[in-house]
């Protein structure tokens, strides 16, 4: 699919094929079946107990008869891109190329569609292997506006998801993310600023700052991913896309009195945007 000898740059070939540049350069490292099973269980425990670090997760796993050391748990957590969520002191100097922005949502009344979007990345286990999922969520309606599945955690697939959401619905007033390297990268920051969008970032370890995305991850995993155990990246992409169609169009939300995200989103658009 990608011709590395072609005069067209690899980056441009990836753009034309609508695939992440990181996927092109990715060289998979084999992971044992035992480690994949551990990662799946760690993911489940992390959803239920987001405050649990490697020591606590080790103890939980041992109580289930899974003999594993703390360092190995910590290594797998790094591969998965997860960490214990609690307030941490700022003890290190941030790299000047990766700015961190203040949290803008505290005390803000979020009452209309496209006022605030939230973005995040999560680990998705498959029958063999794993991928990462990035989603753009409208805060007011909980509607998933765009998403991307990637085999790497490069910033490319986050930028692509944001570009798709803006292309379909126009830019929001604010985009809220965590302080992950994908969202502090120059590629992502430049894309946000290009559209005049204000950037908001969660406090480090403060998962409640982006709680609606955390709830989305729990829904997609327990209602789709864990049940289906996708056996390939292509089936994961298709299955997750189908789930989000269901989530937006048919899944009722108690927060919205049983209405779906689609109904709430389009009803909450500003009059001019709705008319368009």
Mean pLDDT of the chain: 85
CA–CA distances in Å: residue 210 to residues 82, 126, 178, 215 = 15, 25, 8, 9
Domains of the chain: 10-80 (no CATH), 116-275 (3.30.420.10)
Q: What is the pLDDT of residue 276?
A: 41
Residue 14 pLDDT > 70, yes or no? no
Q: What is the pLDDT of residues 55-107, one digit of tens each?
A: 999 999 999 999 999 999 999 999 998 888 765 443 333 445 568 899 999 88
Instruction: Please check whether residue 98 is in contact with residue 179, taking contact to mean a CB–CB distance below 8 angstroms.
Output: no
DSSP secondary structure letter of residue 78:
H
Note the pLDDT tens digit of each residue in 133-143: 999 999 999 99
Q: With beta carbons less than 8 A apart as the criterion, state whether 209 and 103 touch.
A: yes
- The stretch 188-199 carries a mean pLDDT of 96
């Amino acid at each position: 699919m990608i011709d590395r000898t072609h005069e067209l740059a690899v980056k441009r070939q990836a753009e034309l094929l609508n695939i992440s540049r990181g996927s092109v350069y990715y060289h998979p490292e084999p992971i044992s079946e035992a480690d994949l099973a551990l990662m799946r269980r760690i993911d489940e425990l992390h959803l239920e107990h987001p405050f649990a670090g490697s020591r606590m997760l080790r103890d939980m796993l041992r109580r289930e008869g899974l003999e594993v050391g703390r360092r190995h748990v910590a290594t797998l957590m790094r591969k998965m891109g997860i960490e214990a969520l609690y307030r941490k002191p700022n003890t290190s100097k941030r790299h000047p190329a990766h700015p961190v922005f203040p949290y803008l949502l505290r005390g803000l009344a979020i009452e209309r569609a496209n006022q605030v979007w939230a973005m995040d990345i999560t680990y998705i286990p498959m029958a063999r292997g794993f991928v990462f999922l990035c989603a753009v969520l409208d805060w007011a309606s909980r509607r998933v506006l765009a998403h991307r599945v990637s085999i790497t955690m490069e910033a490319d697939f986050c930028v692509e998801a944001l570009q798709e959401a803006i292309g379909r619905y126009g830019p929001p007033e604010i985009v809220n993310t965590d302080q992950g390297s994908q969202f502090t990268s120059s590629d992502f920051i430049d894309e946000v600023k290009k559209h005049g969008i204000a950037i908001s970032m969660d406090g480090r370890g403060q998962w409640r700052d982006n709680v609606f995305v955390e709830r989305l991850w729990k829904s997609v995993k327990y209602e789709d991913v864990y049940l289906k155990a996708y056996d390939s990246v292509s089936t994961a992409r298709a299955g997750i896309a189908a789930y989000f169609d269901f989530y937006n169009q048919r899944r009722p939300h108690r927060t919205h009195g049983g209405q779906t995200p689609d109904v709430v989103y389009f009803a909450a658009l500003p009059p001019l945007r709705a008319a368009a």
